[in-house]
Amino acid sequence: MPKIKISVLKVFTPEDVFGEKYIAPDGTVAEPCHLKEGQEWISTDLKKPDGFCSWAWDDFRKDLYLLYFGGDIPDTPKGVVYTVCSDAKRPVCFKLERLEE
């Protein structure tokens, strides 16, 4: 079965989203996501790579299944899905690529 390459394309900070620091009602300041643009992982057998963000993994699980089982998105290169983590304070854009054996 294919492996899936996960690449971080763009990391947005709370300042990018809100135009200023985001301060929660309890006074804590939202920090940027720990992921870095250009980071890459390989998922084998639909397993979450060590150290990968669980929130993002759950957000794009459907995209992983689509690629893993041979599906494609119209108007997107074959074997590629562009997706995003839904953390609205610090979203991250990803590129998922099916790696044929």
Asked whether residue 95 carries a pLDDT value surpassing 80, the answer given is: yes
Domain housing 14: 3-99
Question: By percentage, how much of the chain surpasses pLDDT 70?
Answer: 99
Give residue 70's pLDDT: 94
Cα torsion 70, 75, 78, 84 to 10°: value is -70
Look up residue 10 and give its amino acid.
K
Cα torsion 43, 44, 48, 51 to 10°: value is -70
Provide the domain count of the chain: 1
| pLDDT tens-digit series, residues 16-34 | 999 999 999 999 999 989 9
Asked whether residue 101 carries a pLDDT value surpassing 80, the answer given is: no
**How is the chain classified by DSSP, letter by letter?**
--EEEEEEEEE--HHHHHSS--B-TTSPBPPPPS--TT-EEEESTTPPPTT--HHHHHHTHHHHHHHHTT---TTS-TTEEEEE---TTS-EEEEEEEE--
Model pTM?
Answer: 0.91
